[in-house]
Amino acid sequence: MCAIIIGTTSSDGNNPCRDYLMLAVPPSKLVVSRDELERIITNCKPPTGFVWSWTIVGAPQGRLKVYIKKDTPPKYKDTDLERKFESILKELGLREGIDYVKQYPIYGKYIDFALPSLKIGFEPGATYWHTPQWVRGEPLSPIGNHPAEVYYPPTEKDLQKHRILTKNGWKIYWLNETFVKHRKHREKVKQIVSQILSKTAGYTDLT
């Protein structure tokens, strides 16, 4: 049976989220645009223990097949980069589990380091993993508030993650491994992170 491309209006005019969820049960018949996907993820909460997921496989060009799946957190092990960035947070006086959370789940995604009470997230990563596989990616700057400021070219996955989170009031800062892991850039990154937090209610300059 062909996938069904639907709009934002429910068949009964009352509950589009219910329709989305019914169509998204595997094998999914829910095919939407990228913009609609973001609205679904933002406004329609899946059942407890499940998350939204999507793929281009089986969908018309420019569309995504969307389905719900069991929430299986990523197998998490601190990388050297994450340890170095976390040490910066700790030097600034932040405490894991109190001020920040690692691999924080939200909207079917995970934020590497999240400060939920402030809706601030930090995403440290290597250029190799944050640029498309078919190009030779370039690092641009140590830290930025958009993936395109840090990686060239950024992946669509990162761009979409950023759009979903920022549309819902989060501020996401992306950090590049090339700079963060080197000692000569560490103090600059630490200063920038401190400035970000010092502009947020409840924090003073931490350096």
Reported as a single tens digit per residue, the pLDDT across 145-202 is 999 999 999 998 899 899 999 989 999 999 998 888 787 888 888 999 999 998 875 5
Residues 89 and 62 in one domain: no
Residues 168 and 116 in one domain: yes
| Buried/exposed code over 56-80 (b: 16+ C-beta within 10 A; e: otherwise) | eeebeeebbbbbbeeeeeeeeeeee
The tally of domains found in the chain comes to 2
Q: CB within 8 A of 60, min separation 6: which ones?
A: 5, 31
Residues 152 and 178 in one domain: yes
- 3-state class (DSSP) for residue 70: strand
Q: Quick check: 2 pLDDT over 90? A: no
Domain span at 116: 80-198
Residues 34 and 87 in one domain: no
**CATH number, residue 161:** 3.40.960.10
Alpha-helical segments (H) within 44-199: 80-91, 127-130, 147-150, 156-167, 177-180, 183-198
What is the mean pLDDT of the segment spanning 91-117? Answer: 92
46 vs 70: CA distance, rounded Å: 10
Q: Under a CB-based contact definition with an 8 Å cutoff, are residues 174 and 120 in contact?
A: no
Q: CB within 8 A of 67, min separation 6: which ones?
A: 24, 25, 26, 27, 28, 30, 52, 53, 54, 55
What is the mean pLDDT of the segment spanning 20-45? Answer: 91
